[in-house]
Amino acid sequence: MVGIFCGSIVFPQHYGACDEFTKELGGGVRTFKGESVKIELCSTRNHINYNLMDAGRVRLRILFMNDRLWAERTFMPVLTSQGPLTIKYGEDYLTYYDEASDESEVRMKMPPSYWEWLKAKFPKLLP
């Protein structure tokens, strides 16, 4: 655990191509229970390589409208021959698809909880 924490500080993951991945995976401004948030998606890759079915690791960020971080998760998007599975939205949740998870369909309560905010602030210390 200590090695993972130290390694993530010394060698932090670089995420980019946010505009492309936000558009491709269905992010943008959304409203849940009257609260507007920004859904930002960035990747460890510069673009989605459909030939290799590779989008890299994706960082999903939920931001307040003033761009302060509210919640953050990372996942491996599921790619199909028609493109990536995009985020689906409900009245009080969003669903993203994680190839690396035991359950490929991951539901996140929206707006995010205080626990999600804490995990975003201290991502390497909290599970």
pLDDT at 63: 96
User: What is the spatial distance between Cα 52 and Cα 48, in angstroms, rounded to a whole number?
Assistant: 9
Residue 43, domain member (yes or no): yes
Residue 44, domain member (yes or no): yes
Q: Is the dihedral of CA 49, 14, 19, 27 positive or negative?
A: positive
Q: DSSP code of 76? A: -
Average pLDDT, the chain: 85
Q: Look up the domain containing 113 and give its range.
A: 14-121
Residue 56, domain member (yes or no): yes
Q: Which residue has the higher pLDDT, 18 or 82?
A: 18
Q: What is the pLDDT of residues 40-89, one digit of tens each?
A: 999 998 877 766 667 789 999 999 999 999 999 999 999 888 888 999 99
Q: What is the pLDDT of residues 89-112, one digit of tens each?
A: 999 999 999 998 888 899 999 999
Whether 9 shows a pLDDT value over 70: the answer reads no
Spatial strand order of the sheet with 88-89 comes to 88-89, 93-97, 105-109
Q: How much is the pTM?
A: 0.82
pLDDT at 12: 65
How many structural domains does the chain have? 1
